[in-house]
Amino acid sequence: MKNNHDLLLTTQCKKLTPYLWPLLLGFLIILSVASYYNYHWHKQSLISERTTVAKQAALKGQLLLEKILQQKFQHIEDSIRLLAENSPLKHYAQTHSAEMRQIVEQQWILLSQNSGLYTQIRFIDPQGMEKIRINYNAESGEAAVANKLQYKGNRPYMLEAKNLKPSEVAVIAFDVESEFGQIVRPLKQAGRVITPLTIDGQRLGYVLFNLDMSEVMSLIDEQERVNQLSIEVMTNDGHYIRSEDPAHAYGHVLPSRQKFSLALSDNNTWQKMQADSEGVLRLDKGYLTYRWVNFNLRQRLMPHSTQRLLILTHIRDNDIQLATHEAISTANSSWLLRLALILSISIVASLWLQRWLTRFKTQKLMLSAISSMSSVIITDQNNRLVGVNRAFEQLTGYQSGDIVKKVPEMFEAINQSFEEFQGSVKSIIANHGRWQGEMRCICADGRTLNIWLEASAIHSGKGQQNVDYYVANFIDITKQKRLESQLVKLSNTDALTGAYNRRRFDEELNRLSRIADRYANNQFCLAILDLDHFKAVNDTHGHDVGDEVLKTVVSHIHPLLRETDFFARLGGEEFAVLMPHTEISAAISVAERLRNEIEHTNIVPKVTMSIGVVAYQANMPETELYRRADIALYQAKALGRNRVMSDDSQRVDNTTNLNLISGAATVTL
């Protein structure tokens, strides 16, 4: 019987022999064509994916630059306002006292050395003559008083300054340096910020910062290095501030370079970018992402050309192809290797039964998955583990022998039970061929990993409904998730104290205002907290001690707040607390508790706190709410500090408020 079977098999093989090589040749031609189309499709997919990633990175980088630049200029603006309100400077401007001048010079030297942003800080009299000038050397990190003072009354920025109203700030940020009316060569980036010094309606001079614009431009250089994409910056009228060709920059201030303007060279593209604040444009040889950055605020004046800037990021097709070349070559080699494997299996398939061929191919696919670099698990149709690879064991700490033939309970779905998750995954695989998404994995030592998992099914060949195995591979994305969380925290919190920052406070105030306007029972209160005589702490003990005091104060305030309260540092020694669902009486109690804690805490040097509390009223503008809280704070200051005062809109009119502010200012002086 066995001999008959062998004879039959031999006869069948002889019959197939004449057709074997033609069939094999035809099969190879088909595979070659399929290989080419697969390679072409995979290449386009890689290029498309890389382009999408580059566009997203460019847009995120531009948004980050916008926030950093706006924060940088806001900090500079706040600093010059504080200097203009400085008591020794006002005293010097009125009396020209040599003693007051020395105090101002020492303060400005410390500011120059600590900030590193200002190459010069100057006080100029109304006629344009320098009275005080501090020069800062970035290389040595030293600041010194200038001995030779100059007349600046005929400079363009001084002519602009004479038109400023009290408390207004003029910012000429993107300029070039000039000496004695001539532009310095080689070109040197420059910027100036100026504000008037006014006392009792009389203008006694101007405070002026010369900015180190290389510090600002280095932020753009760093973003360009991180994303490996070319970044250009333009003025409101299309001239380059930062260009791939430095010879095209500063056309808004150099007449010889005014011809280098995007509005002139490519007006069609320029007009498209006027419609939206950000976007992506397809060009002949790549993509261009853009974002408009607005700088001109209510009390900040800038030249028209730089009131808003345009940030451009170039994504060129050549750069994308170069970045994906290695991946495409690897993918093509991998595909050719798979072709060779399929060819070998096809030769064996011509001699063996279809059933055994299918089983053999299944085993090959499983072997390929097991030996891959990512962590892989294989389960049967009953969701029991069939096998795991070495990468899985190394990542999770589980050994294959301990978990095979068991349900993989180490995986957790996000916001869903595991049973519901399994059902939905099988349904997606049945309809679309695969599933991918984020999960959590509990390791053998108790660690929890965030993973990105992709699952697919291996079929027996009798239809898509007959699943032999499920193969899932995943990678560890815990570090990426942690980094995302840290970036969100950094953008929302104050770096020194850990409290929320001013930007996050404005967002929360806006959110609570909208909720309160919509729902009558969702009122809230605002408290503004200010440390008493904190400037004296900085002046006497130094800014390092002042910083430690701020951190200590915040560490004592946080435990006393409720879970629903929102605590933020507005700037300097000023803080704010938003109290949702809180009546004014309860808010005063919370504020009094905070004030009492700071008063009786052993903080060295000793500080106290004044607090202004106000309740939100329906449809009240946010600026009005803040103004009333500020008035209450000034009232607390005027009545002796270290106390809590609340705003009573039915009792305190605008005249009284102005009197309180005037009284507080007198006490402070």
Question: Which of 105, 573, 574, 583 is the catalytic position?
Answer: 573
What is the rounded distance in angstroms from the CA atom of residue 454 to the CA atom of residue 433? 11
Residue environment code for 331-364, b if the CB has 16+ CB neighbours within 10 A, otherwise e: bbeebeeebeeeeeeeeebeeeeeeebbeebbee
Q: Is 496 exposed, middle or buried (0-12, 13-18, 19+ CB in 10 A)?
A: middle
Q: Which of 495, 569, 486, 500 is nearest to 530 (CA)?
A: 569
- For this structure, is 573 an active site residue? yes
Helix axes 654-668, 622-638, angle to 10 degrees: 50
Indicate the residue type of 72: K
Q: Tell me the H-state helices in 197-279.
A: 213-227, 262-265, 267-272
Compute the Cα dihedral for 75, 76, 80, 83 and give only its sign: positive
Q: Are strands 286-294 and 308-316 parallel, antiparallel or unpaired?
A: antiparallel
Under 8 Å between Cβ of 238 and 264: yes
* Cα 272 from Cα 290, distance rounded (Å): 11
- What lies within 8 Å, CB to CB, of 245 at 6+ separation is none
| The one-letter amino acid at 535 | K
Q: Which amino acid is at 95?
A: T
Q: Which helix (H) or strand (E) holds 397?
A: none
Three-state SS letters, 54-73: HHHHHHHHHHHHHHHHHHHH
Distance CA 605, CA 22 (A): 95
Tell me the DSSP string of 304-346: GGGSEEEEEEEEEHHHHHHHHHHHHHHHHHHHHHHHHHHHHHH
At 316, list the tokens: 């060129």
Which helix (H) or strand (E) is 354 found in, with range?
Answer: helix 354-370
Q: Tell me how far apart the alpha carbons of residues 668 and 408 are, in angstroms, rounded to a whole number.
A: 69
Strand runs labelled E in 444-523:
448-459, 467-476
Q: Are 642 and 577 in contact (CB under 8 A)?
A: no
Catalytic sites, residue numbers:
573
